[in-house]
Amino acid sequence: MIAQRVGRLGTLEPQAEIEGVPSPLGVTLVESKQAYNFALFSRYATGVTLLLYTEADPVNPVFKYHFNPRINKTGPIWHCWVPLAATQGATLYAYRLEGPFEPQARHRFDPQKILLDPYARSVFFPPGFSRMACTQPGPTDGVAPLGVLPTITTTFDWGSDDRPRHGHDTIIYELHVKGFTARANSGVSPEKRGTFAGLMEKIPYLQDLGVTVVELLPVHQFDPQEGNYWGYMTLNFFAPHQQYAYGDPLLEFREMVKAFHAVGIEVWLDVVYNHTSEGNEQGPTYGYRGIDNKSYYLLAADPQYYLNDTGCGNTLRSAHPAVRALILESLHFWANEMHIDGFRFDLASIFTRNSNGSLNLYEPSLITEISSFGHYADVRLIAEAWDIGSYQLGRSFPGFSWLQWNGKFRDDIRAFVKSDPGKVADLMQRLYGSDDLFPDTLLEAYRPFQSVNFITSHDGFCMYDLVAYNHKHNEVNGHGNNDGSDHNLSWNCGWEGDLDVPEEIMLLRRRQIKNFCCLLMLANGTPMFCAGDEFLNTQRGNNNPYNQDNEITWLDWDRLAQNRDIFRFFKNMIAFRKAHPSIGRGRYWREDIHWYGVGAHVDLAYHSHTLAYCLHGESYRDDDIYVMINAYWEELVFVIQEGEATDWYRVVDTSLPGPLDIAAPGEEGRLSSLKYLVAPRTIVVLLRPRRSR
């Protein structure tokens, strides 16, 4: 009999219909043969049993297959072939594994546990699903999540789906799928609030704002009973989170991506490949722990405990071939089958861990493999280059072509705007593109766009709370206000909180928000801000609302109507940045930037709070931009150091009320003097058109 090629199974030898094949991992429907192939990695199991269920009875399997290792095992892969006719109408599947339960030897096999296939493309939660039950000794029949068997389906019609790729005009907007539209005042259809479909209804809003990338907080299926609202407790790395879907999760997610692409907006995912929802040794057994604990997880010196460099109970053993294969297969799935444009890797520095937990900053295998994947799949790779045990921001992180969240930008800009002393030099460094972290030497040749500049993200104060609270207010999280960072670099402008705020305090807060927006949009690099910052959304001073699935974290769209002037300011600053490619360059500003102070020279004294600069745009066929920054608490006269007064047009003065604070294109006011009185805590932006030079 001649071997046949069948889809991703590759060459199908005749004996496959007896033994199954070891690749690909997971379950594969072979339509031409009307059969399933199952493949599961477990190096140390002594026995494996496949279980098939119907949705009507997810407790008692209608089909069992006990793998014969002499027939159904190749290396560490257990595999079998099951004709559809033998499945008795089953739609769900899981495994039981036998082996030693010896935590001191790194093994936690338990044949009483029902185990979810790590490669399942969809997850079923039985009516009796219970995280607590899965943490206890004893059987987990009917309480553990199950995989869904694939069925014969039509291929999703992507049409032309021209996947957008943005350059200098990249504006990242970080949002939570549920929190973005969960409130009734979101204007989204009631049945679609908090879903992928709900996001589609808000696309016109995002177009109007001008963002070009939406970065979604984790959408991989996470444990719905763990209590992590943000989604950073992944159960399965392939299935979209069911609770974010109005209809079929896979179909709805694809429709959402296609809709974003149709209007030129990229879709990036925040992905969590550093730990799982199984937690520490006291956590539930859903799959990885019971399938091959030693291979999947990094363990402590006393191996009955888990290494917790993630702060989430466990750490995936990312140097192990099985874990690397799982992560890469997941990335390929989301890039190729879901058309994702970029991946932001949570705690990416975990990928530099060797199999014993030590650091490898030279050539860690997983980062090299992901880098190659990114090149061939044409997707963006973004690192959060730190974790509990390692801080690798900038050149220390071995993903040389990756973008990185720049935590130094966040801290330095916050400190300068709140008028901390000794920050002028740091401000210059961050505006320039952070070449101290991303050097453009002959050897390293980093680019400024690799710095993802942000002042706020989901983690920490939102922008309004940054100017409304001196201290975190996390009491509702249930940890005695001991969770969340105490290093917020926030300033409440003289009044703690959002209740009965005096008018003069509120005016100052609005000005500070505009100052943050200005510096973010004027800096070389790739800007990112958090959903709701553009209309002063608040989380009531909670800087760690990871477990608040309620109105603390759901965007309050009434604040958009109340703060239209701030929305307009964000929108116009975004448009200004896009209109001037000399700001967000592929290279550093170098000779095109001239630094000044209130006069001809930069004041770098410890107690200085001022800076001015002129960015020449000729090399980019762009206009010249002159910026005057006063973080002092008194007004100061700046003397413009270049050109004639009538060469310059005022675009921005953050001390002015809207709509005077930022001019629409063509409505800029011409200056009559080279002296400009800059109000306290104010930024002024001037423009010299090319024709005036």
Length in residues, the chain: 693
Do the Cβ atoms of 80 and 38 come closer than 8 Å? yes
Residue 384 among the catalytic residues: yes
What gap in Å lies between CA 383 and CA 404, rounded to an integer?
A: 5
What gap in Å lies between CA 58 and CA 51, rounded to an integer?
A: 10
CB-based burial, 281-292: b 16+ in 10 Å, e otherwise: bebbbbbbbbbb
- Of the residues 341, 384, 549, 653, only one is catalytic, namely 384
Do the Cβ atoms of 371 and 381 come closer than 8 Å? yes
Neighbouring residues of 334: CB distance < 8 A, sequence distance ≥ 6 = 269, 271, 340, 343
Burial of 365 (0-12, 13-18, 19+ CB in 10 A): middle
Residue 201 among the catalytic residues: no
Burial of 138 (0-12, 13-18, 19+ CB in 10 A): exposed
Three-state DSSP string of 338-405: CCCCEEEECCHHHHHECCCCCECCCCCHHHHHHHHHHHHHCCEEEECCEECCEECCHHHCCCCCCEEE
Amino acid code (one letter) for 575: A
What gap in Å lies between CA 53 and CA 149, rounded to an integer?
A: 10
3-class DSSP state for residue 8? helix
> Residue 402 CB: number of other CB atoms within 10 A?
21
- Of the residues 19, 117, 278, 346, only one is catalytic, namely 346
* Sign (positive or negative) of CA dihedral 190, 196, 199, 200: negative
Three-state DSSP string of 401-467: CCEEEEHHHHHHHHHHHCCCCCCHHHHHHHHHCCCCCCCCCCCCCCCHHHEEEECCCCCCCCHHHHC
What gap in Å lies between CA 340 and CA 336, rounded to an integer?
A: 8
Active site residues: 346, 384
